[in-house]
Chain A
């Protein structure tokens, strides 16, 4: 399969390792986006993909493009940014959240929720709908951040492809939605437009988990399917950022395939729901 001069993804020669190091260093220096502590395997696959498209044979030649081909850095950044998401992704997560976390949140006078790595916003809209149905909308501020400004722009529009809406409806229903999903959108022939009132208390902002620091204290931090792209070292760093940014008794929600178990911060949390990876910060 591999005629592109890059070895199989799980085996790289030291030279290639070095090339990648340099490449990522260049990306960092050129754009400020730091992928050096991202999972190598993932980076390598994305690079391979790009190399195939560019018909490049070495990473170094790609590096040259970085410097000399305008728009190439953006291409690479785009390659490295995986924005797969869904509304009410893992419906059970939202269901458990609704049944176990929401009662706790109801005790608070005001709520701050941080969606780190919100991608195109589906998760944020889902949360907004959930909170609205639970009557928490008014006292909640949702901070939705991502390092990729392009996806944030999409998120702000609240406009999702019609083709995905059937899945989203199913997810919504499975997640225990209490209304008709169609209450929240109007559709034209291509997109469903979510009710702008959902956006009332949502703040979208660019934030990079690798390079930026904490910006508030939150009652809930949701960061799903972002850490999977990070090495465990970086995961630890980001986890301690979350720990710092969470108030006592605050909740941390991770992706279904993620875990706090091997993190250094694990001792600071109790498992609030094992199955759904919701953790609660201890006193």
Chain B
């Protein structure tokens, strides 16, 4: 992939290294060169100069040897000197030549050397040889003389100085050369250092260049990859590298990888997208529709349909979703297994790709027209090895490999989902069904209850009808009996009539007797009056007249009373309500009764309070009549003392009518009084304290009953306060009624006198439906268990009044014993707080007995104790009532628990 003229990283690095190595080699070569030159030079200095010096010295030494040898020989004549002379003389020229050749590069020194040679030659020739020859020739003296010759010595000295000069020149030359060598050496060091610097700089530069060129591209790649990851794994971008190296290759490879990742990513995303969409769908149709549209969109298909198997035992595949560009219905709705391509695919369980679609296979229609599908793919959806659904897709293009992979991918999971949804739907269906069934059952049971209630009602109706029929026959029977009875009654009445007429006649006879007696007196006395008219005995006359008068008055009273009473009883008496002037009443009373009282020697007092209104509305005559009755009674029954009338504005405790004003007339006396037990009787007609009294005081005894009746008619009440022997007071309360008495309450005496124990609030008002209550409770047996005798007493009285049988127990033990003895117990009232064995224990003990499982037990608890109540229920009480008991509540509860269900 990479260009031919690539320049790889290794090449770069190798080039870098090569450059550096070459530089190093060159520098080593140069240095080496320098070093060897210097070596040579040094060697030269060492060999050449040393040789030059030593040769020079050698020649000089040989000169000296020659001189010595010559002189020794001359002086001694010893051959040994001559020999050393000869040896030196023979060899110095070699040395000289050698030296000369050594100095080939230095002509000036050669010249100097030649000069030295010349001098030496001349010495040898002019001094050395001739002298020796002299000696040999035994010319000793001449020889010695020769020796002593100035110039011979001078000559040697000259030569030696020449040598000295030569040598110093050579030394300076050597020094010069050494200095040169030194400077060369320094230069070399400098050169070496600069070479090193250059090489280092070069290698660093190269290294930087190469590494940068590598790192930059790597950085580029990293940046691109980072950009991808930071973009949430956006793999759509690609890496671009300008260099032509391995990094580029890496980028290319990475790009390839990205390509495949992108494809996989797309596959994964599309799969997830489709799978995610259809997750949580509740129905198959929803599932099918979302699935097929997801798949079709992702594969660019223009048509799609999903067929789901009805059930695993079914051969039918039903279309559960479709996708098409238009709303038009595409494809068939149902396939059976094996039918058509879809059915075939279901059997084969492998995908079917049709690339050359027959012309009439599928026309994909859009808003713009219809087109021929190019590719059709039919894929089975498998679950546990069975085809659970079949997917069909058609496209106008071709399905790519990715498309196929996607289809394969999504169908894999789809099978599971289809199965789980059908499972879930089945569960939901079953749950719904069971819910519906539950409701249905409830409805049915309620219906049944209603029906049974209806039946109950019907049977009750029937019973009622039966009862009615029975009653009718009874009635018929009764009627005949009634007829008989009526006849009997008639007879009886006739008898009664005769009887009552007998009474009447008796009464009348009585009366006539009563009437006759005063009348007799009148008759007799009037007769006597008439007879004695002449005698004119005034005192007697007067007495007679008084008796006549009083008898006549008695008679009149009696007759009036009888008349009134009979009228009252016949309801014929009417009260005439009118203004009554109260201010005049005291005088009136005084006028009428003061003298009567005085006659009996009694005090008579009338007092009226100031707050009594001047005018009231009532029946004046009747009031007067009543007062007269009361007062004459009072006077009649009082032997001594006082009779007094006290009038005040005061209402009675129990009003029978509503009025703005009430007056109280208290008529009191200090007479014989009325014994308590007679209080009720004295108002009855023909009753007085007792027979004896009647005889003693006379009178008919009608007065009080008439008065009472009058008072009632006037809307008032009469109360009596009396003690035997001390006197009596009658309190007459009268209302002022401008309109008269409109509603007269029935005169019934409610005196429910009940002993009330401290803890029991007995309400005196009784429930409205009272009649028959006696029937409800009567005959029922109640067991009261309470340690407080007052409670027991109060309850017992109240319950007995209702006609109940009451058994009492003072504690739990007693209760249990009584239970054993009693039969037909209807209810138990159980106090909770009892000593020894409390209510809870007792209830538990009762409930433990087979026979008393269901007997109602009502616990009597303290009001504030909620726990108590719970405990009561725990141990088996049926209900509880809290203390202090309200009798009405207790009755209600007892009704509830006694009523037989």
Which A residues lie at the B interface, using CB under 8 A?
A: 39, 41-42, 45-46, 49, 82-84, 162-163, 165-167, 169, 173, 178-183, 185-189, 192, 225, 227-229, 232, 255, 257-259, 261-262
B447 touches A182 (CB 8 A): no
Complex contacts, B891 vs chain A, CB 8 Å: 187
Would you give the shortest CB distance from A228 to chain B, in whole angstroms? 4
B769 at the A/B interface (Cβ < 8 Å)? yes
Contact flag A262-B440 (CB < 8 Å), given A42-B447, A173-B873: no
Interface string of B866-890 (1 = CB under 8 A from A): 1001000100001111100000111
A232 touches B436 (CB 8 A): yes
> 5 other contacts beyond A42-B447, A165-B899, with CB at 8 A cut-off?
A182-B892, A186-B889, A187-B891, A189-B769, A257-B439
Identify the interface centre among A45, A83, A192, A228: most chain B CB within 10 Å of its CB.
A228
A186 touches B888 (CB 8 A): yes
- A-B CB contact pairs (8 Å), 5 listed: A46-B447, A166-B901, A173-B879, A186-B767, A257-B439
B878 touches A166 (CB 8 A): yes
A245 to B441, CA, bound (A): 29
B881 touches A188 (CB 8 A): no
A182 touches B899 (CB 8 A): no
Would you give the shortest CB distance from B640 to chain A, in whole angstroms? 58
B432 at the A/B interface (Cβ < 8 Å)? yes
A169 touches B773 (CB 8 A): no
B438 at the A/B interface (Cβ < 8 Å)? yes
Would you give the shortest CB distance from B237 to chain A, in whole angstroms? 43
A184 to B443, CA, bound (A): 30
A169 to B890, CA, bound (A): 14
Interface string of B132-149 (1 = CB under 8 A from A): 000000000000000000
B789 at the A/B interface (Cβ < 8 Å)? no
Identify the interface centre among B444, B451, B776, B892: most chain A CB within 10 Å of its CB.
B892
B895 touches A188 (CB 8 A): yes
A262 touches B432 (CB 8 A): yes
A45 to B450, CA, bound (A): 12
Chain B interface SS verdict (over half): helix
B450 touches A227 (CB 8 A): no
Identify the interface centre among B431, B769, B899: most chain A CB within 10 Å of its CB.
B899
Identify the interface centre among B775, B880, B900: most chain A CB within 10 Å of its CB.
B880
Would you give the shortest CB distance from A154 to chain B, in whole angstroms? 13
B878 touches A189 (CB 8 A): no
Would you give the shortest CB distance from B552 to chain A, in whole angstroms? 62
A197 to B451, CA, bound (A): 33
Which B residues lie at the A interface, using CB under 8 A?
A: 428, 431-432, 435-436, 438-444, 446-447, 449-451, 453, 767-769, 772-773, 775-776, 856, 866, 869, 873, 878-882, 888-893, 895-897, 899-901
B879 touches A180 (CB 8 A): yes
B878 touches A169 (CB 8 A): yes
Identify the interface centre among B438, B446, B881: most chain A CB within 10 Å of its CB.
B446
Contact flag A182-B431 (CB < 8 Å), given A189-B772, A189-B773: no
B881 touches A182 (CB 8 A): yes
B443 touches A82 (CB 8 A): yes
A163 touches B447 (CB 8 A): no
Complex contacts, A192 vs chain B, CB 8 Å: 892, 895-896
A166 touches B776 (CB 8 A): no
A180 touches B869 (CB 8 A): yes
A228 touches B869 (CB 8 A): no
Identify the interface centre among A167, A186, A259: most chain B CB within 10 Å of its CB.
A186
B896 touches A45 (CB 8 A): no
A84 partner, pick from B435, B450, B775, B869, beta carbons under 8 A:
B450
Complex contacts, B450 vs chain A, CB 8 Å: 82-84
A45 to B571, CA, bound (A): 66
Q: Nearest chain-A residue to B438 (Cβ)? A: A257
A258 touches B901 (CB 8 A): no
Would you give the shortest CB distance from A40 to chain B, in whole angstroms? 10
B892 touches A187 (CB 8 A): yes
A182 touches B879 (CB 8 A): yes
Contact flag A228-B866 (CB < 8 Å), given A183-B889, A188-B767, A188-B769: no
Complex contacts, A46 vs chain B, CB 8 Å: 447
Would you give the shortest CB distance from A79 to chain B, in whole angstroms? 9
Top-8 shortest CB links A-B: A187-B892, A228-B439, A257-B442, A188-B769, A187-B895, A165-B896, A84-B446, A162-B899
Complex contacts, A259 vs chain B, CB 8 Å: 435
Complex contacts, A181 vs chain B, CB 8 Å: 879
Would you give the shortest CB distance from B447 to chain A, in whole angstroms? 6
B442 partner, pick from A167, A185, A228, beta carbons under 8 A:
A228
Would you give the shortest CB distance from B514 to chain A, in whole angstroms? 54
B447 partner, pick from A82, A165, A188, A261, beta carbons under 8 A:
A82
A49 partner, pick from B451, B873, B889, B895, beta carbons under 8 A:
B451
B888 touches A178 (CB 8 A): no
A180 touches B882 (CB 8 A): yes
Would you give the shortest CB distance from B893 to chain A, in whole angstroms? 4
Q: Nearest chain-B residue to A173 (Cβ)? A: B873
Complex contacts, A188 vs chain B, CB 8 Å: 767-769, 773, 895
B897 touches A229 (CB 8 A): no
Complex contacts, A225 vs chain B, CB 8 Å: 442, 446
A179 to B446, CA, bound (A): 30
Complex contacts, A182 vs chain B, CB 8 Å: 879, 881, 889-890, 892-893, 896
Complex contacts, A166 vs chain B, CB 8 Å: 856, 878, 896-897, 899, 901
Complex contacts, B444 vs chain A, CB 8 Å: 41-42, 45
A39 to B769, CA, bound (A): 44
B449 touches A84 (CB 8 A): yes
A112 to B105, CA, bound (A): 139
A189 touches B895 (CB 8 A): yes
Complex contacts, B772 vs chain A, CB 8 Å: 189
Would you give the shortest CB distance from A225 to chain B, in whole angstroms? 6
Q: Nearest chain-B residue to A161 (Cβ)? A: B899
Complex contacts, B769 vs chain A, CB 8 Å: 188-189
Q: Nearest chain-A residue to B861 (Cβ)? A: A180
Q: Nearest chain-B residue to A229 (Cβ)? A: B443
Complex contacts, B768 vs chain A, CB 8 Å: 188
Q: Nearest chain-B residue to A164 (Cβ)? A: B901
A50 to B615, CA, bound (A): 74
A186 touches B446 (CB 8 A): no
Would you give the shortest CB distance from B108 to chain A, in whole angstroms? 125
B431 touches A262 (CB 8 A): yes
Would you give the shortest CB distance from A43 to chain B, in whole angstroms? 10
A229 to B882, CA, bound (A): 42
Complex contacts, A169 vs chain B, CB 8 Å: 878-879, 896
Complex contacts, B438 vs chain A, CB 8 Å: 257
Complex contacts, B880 vs chain A, CB 8 Å: 180
A206 to B453, CA, bound (A): 24
